[in-house]
Structure 1
């Protein structure tokens, strides 16, 4: 018996009518149906497209720039929407400090974070309760391994790495090269020394591949940091990219853990992995805040954050030396006067105020994280006079702190003297300056980053004068998110031995 083909009952006209109905329905919901929401809500950002809401504006301007523009019009707290997701932007030094120092806003995850990067098993994105235990452990271990000032610090390893990067730069023989690649290797080696107990040669292809993987993972993580990315047809599902890069990085970490387990000496732990293995043995594998599975994700956090953030900051500082040769000359004059041929050490920091101020100005003018991780309200609360629902997404706009003209006149001008007092000494804890964030979840590696930035920056400028290649265009200072940190667009530099 012949079976007749089943025909779709709708005509082209029917399908067009259905499509019009769906679009009309959503427009009605968006613009005509006014849902009354209880409480005092922050003002809403202007504009917005049907269905997409403010997403097109955010893409056109860039998230951090658009949030700044709205803040000038709407104030320190306002709401915006991207697709169906609503966010509350928080701007200004006082408001951001109030937000991040409040336990109610100390959780970053909402259950939608990709399991490829640990979900809630790491440190960076862990819920606040378990985060405190993991951070306390990590801080204690890093301090034992040398993340501290004075005797027993990691200064010797950083100085050694500074010598290695200078040797690498010297090998270019004044020819143009991309300094960001070598800076990333240097900062990566320092964190590898702490975490894995070893460093890698600059030409090591395996380590270079690992760095590429790390940057790729960071770039993919940016996509799901604000979930509306996943709804854009031209953008690949971010979880696919995260899984691809995370698998390679986690395989490397797991192999290191396995090697450490084979020759672990409980009486003489060598690095962060050893301390993790000892902690697991102490907990007998049943710890609530640490187990054998999330050790991989904790180490992944340390490796990515410890490499990417410091490398981006140092690259910005070196770029501004090229753009402001008078500042570079002043830094070098100070280094020559205080150090001569002596290699920089942490003890010299107080004798080199202009050098320190120059690093601080680089951190201010081009902060690597102009928008901090989204915070989630743990319960219904009030913030700055507004009612905030449980689970509300709060977006700290850190750029508004560092580019506030009321605090930093002509904020786009690179001027290290902002951080010096009338006596030429460094201003400690200046207002409206949060390079490592603040509050409950400020940067875990702040002390280490300060040590690295000072020793690497001062050593490079002690040995080389940096300048643009002949005829090269002036590098952009707009910044790009090649990973989780905002770094300079690629540029070439020539390093002339001094």
Structure 2
């Protein structure tokens, strides 16, 4: 009801009538395209009022009535939901070239404009992605230099944790530590945990991800973006853009083509080259590429580590096994390495189980790049596709006791080797896999190994054990705020 009250306060009767006519016309077009059937949608807003904050749970519920592939109206956006691994495999994996685009969502188009990588399509996406991957490789992706950078930041994080004699919420310092990795690569510097400007930036980041959802009201009625309803969203977006542009300006003043210090310098060097498409790398959209890097390279990884700490507190027997494994392989002094993960299978299995259960990115968004036929239905080009990874990772047909926390499910019978099922896809599927997958894996593994090596995490005596079944929903799925004790080992 709140949704309708907001809409009615901002729209008049003629507008509603016109939009209703357009909606009915769109329904006729949908019928001609022979899309899979799905739940009822109201004029203008579609099915959005019937979708819970944790939309993936609603999509899972509807699948029981309409099957694993069905259609939902999300305002003006028509989306086909893929609600099983088989549905995802037959589309995003087996026909990846036809599902390579990102959907055009008003919340993204109006809020962040174009020029990036994550929500770009076509040749521009392909070229920018190739360039970004090469740049990340140049700055240590998968190499010893990046491993050392992560371990150094883990030292700073552990020192910060040591300052907390009482119980504390680890959210800010974990987020700051993880963000410092991509910040040092992108901006050429790390930020102190006490830096108020960077703390505000991280808060901004979380705010945007919380409100940039597929079922946001602005996706139903784009004009809402310019109303008081989205004042805060516009403000925090502007502050983040200003921060990035200030860094770009500082780099321009000291730029030396013979000394490329970070990704901003790499971008500035690329601007001096000639490209077939002059808009491929342009000064006015340079911030957008860095924005994508900062968002993708910080929030999801930090959130995964926050879930990991929460599960260690919830399951102390798992934490004890991890400490025993780390002590046997590394002791108290030896630094964790990316290569050491083969000798720490229980740690890697635990991280995978956290990723499976927490589902930091529960919905995977794609768009058809050409007409596709699935199960007798014709999907037109430009159709939004939402793959429900939550269901994939909780499907009782794929996992035994899917809601139990059991790291052993990812180990072979001898407990020495990782076993990775095909249905485990936390970083997505198809040709548009997360470009930061390797960076995220390295950070999660090395930060977690350092934390386990140095601390035992417990719930404060005056606090109840935080629930792992509750979350803060948004574009990402975060744990609710919690406090812990960190006991130095």
- Which TM-score band (shorter chain)? 0.7 to 0.9
Residues 51, 302 of structure 1: alpha-carbon distance in 2 compared, 3 angstrom cutoff: closer
Of 309, 315, 318, the match for 1:327: 318
Q: Is the 8 A contact 1:223 1:238 kept in 2?
A: no
Name the SS of the counterpart of 1:79 in structure 2: strand
Q: What CA distance in whole angstroms lies between the structure 1 residues aligned with 2:71 and 2:277?
A: 42
Correspondences of 1:244-263 after superposition (within 5 Å): 244-263=235-254
Q: What CA distance in whole angstroms lies between the structure 2 residues aligned with 1:484 and 1:389?
A: 25
Q: Deviations over 1:306-331 (max 9, x none)?
A: 11010011111110001111111111
Q: What CA distance in whole angstroms lies between the structure 2 residues aligned with 1:139 and 1:226?
A: 34
- In the alignment, which residue of structure 2 is the partner of 1:369? 361
Of 422, 443, 446, the match for 1:452: 443
Name the SS of the counterpart of 1:441 in structure 2: coil
> Displacement of 1:261 after TM fit?
1.8
Correspondences of 1:42-61 after superposition (within 5 Å): 42-46=35-39, 52-59=45-52
- In the alignment, which residue of structure 2 is the partner of 1:147? 141
Correspondences of 1:204-353 after superposition (within 5 Å): 204-222=195-213, 227-228=218-219, 230=221, 240-283=231-274, 287-341=278-332, 342-353=334-345
Residues 127, 356 of structure 1: alpha-carbon distance in 2 compared, 3 angstrom cutoff: same
Q: What CA distance in whole angstroms lies between the structure 1 residues aligned with 2:469 and 2:42?
A: 27
Q: Is the 8 A contact 2:360 2:477 kept in 1?
A: yes
Name the SS of the counterpart of 1:440 in structure 2: coil
Name the SS of the counterpart of 1:382 in structure 2: strand
Q: What CA distance in whole angstroms lies between the structure 1 residues aligned with 2:223 and 2:46?
A: 13
> Displacement of 1:439 after TM fit?
1.6
Q: Is the 8 A contact 1:80 1:87 kept in 2?
A: yes
Q: Deviations over 1:333-375 (max 9, x none)?
A: 10111111212122211110000000010000111111122x2
Q: Is the 8 A contact 1:42 1:77 kept in 2?
A: no
- In the alignment, which residue of structure 1 is the partner of 2:86? 94
TM-score normalised by L of structure 1: 0.86
Name the SS of the counterpart of 1:70 in structure 2: helix
- In the alignment, which residue of structure 1 is the partner of 2:412? 421
Q: What CA distance in whole angstroms lies between the structure 2 residues aligned with 1:226 and 1:129?
A: 31
- In the alignment, which residue of structure 2 is the partner of 1:128? 122
> Displacement of 1:242 after TM fit?
3.5
> Displacement of 1:445 after TM fit?
0.7
- In the alignment, which residue of structure 2 is the partner of 1:103? 97
> Displacement of 1:133 after TM fit?
0.5
> Displacement of 1:481 after TM fit?
4.3
- In the alignment, which residue of structure 2 is the partner of 1:169? 161
Residues 191, 117 of structure 1: alpha-carbon distance in 2 compared, 3 angstrom cutoff: farther
Q: Is the 8 A contact 1:111 1:119 kept in 2?
A: no
Residues 236, 178 of structure 1: alpha-carbon distance in 2 compared, 3 angstrom cutoff: farther
Name the SS of the counterpart of 1:356 in structure 2: helix
> Displacement of 1:444 after TM fit?
1.1
Q: Is the 8 A contact 2:106 2:222 kept in 1?
A: no
Q: What CA distance in whole angstroms lies between the structure 1 residues aligned with 2:223 and 2:15?
A: 19
Q: What CA distance in whole angstroms lies between the structure 2 residues aligned with 1:415 and 1:450?
A: 20
Alignment RMSD (CA, Å): 3.2
* Worse overlay, 335-344 or 427-436: 427-436
Task: Note the residue ranges of structure 1 that are not aligned, 5 or more in a row.
Answer: 1-18
TM-score normalised by L of structure 2: 0.88
Q: What CA distance in whole angstroms lies between the structure 2 residues aligned with 1:160 and 1:346?
A: 14
Q: What CA distance in whole angstroms lies between the structure 2 residues aligned with 1:20 and 1:240?
A: 25
- In the alignment, which residue of structure 1 is the partner of 2:8? none
Greater gyration radius: 1
> Displacement of 1:253 after TM fit?
1.0
Q: What CA distance in whole angstroms lies between the structure 2 residues aligned with 1:184 and 1:20?
A: 46
Name the SS of the counterpart of 1:154 in structure 2: helix
> Displacement of 1:283 after TM fit?
2.6
Task: Note the residue ranges of structure 2 that are not aligned, 5 or more in a row.
Answer: 1-11
- In the alignment, which residue of structure 2 is the partner of 1:399? 390
- In the alignment, which residue of structure 1 is the partner of 2:151? 159
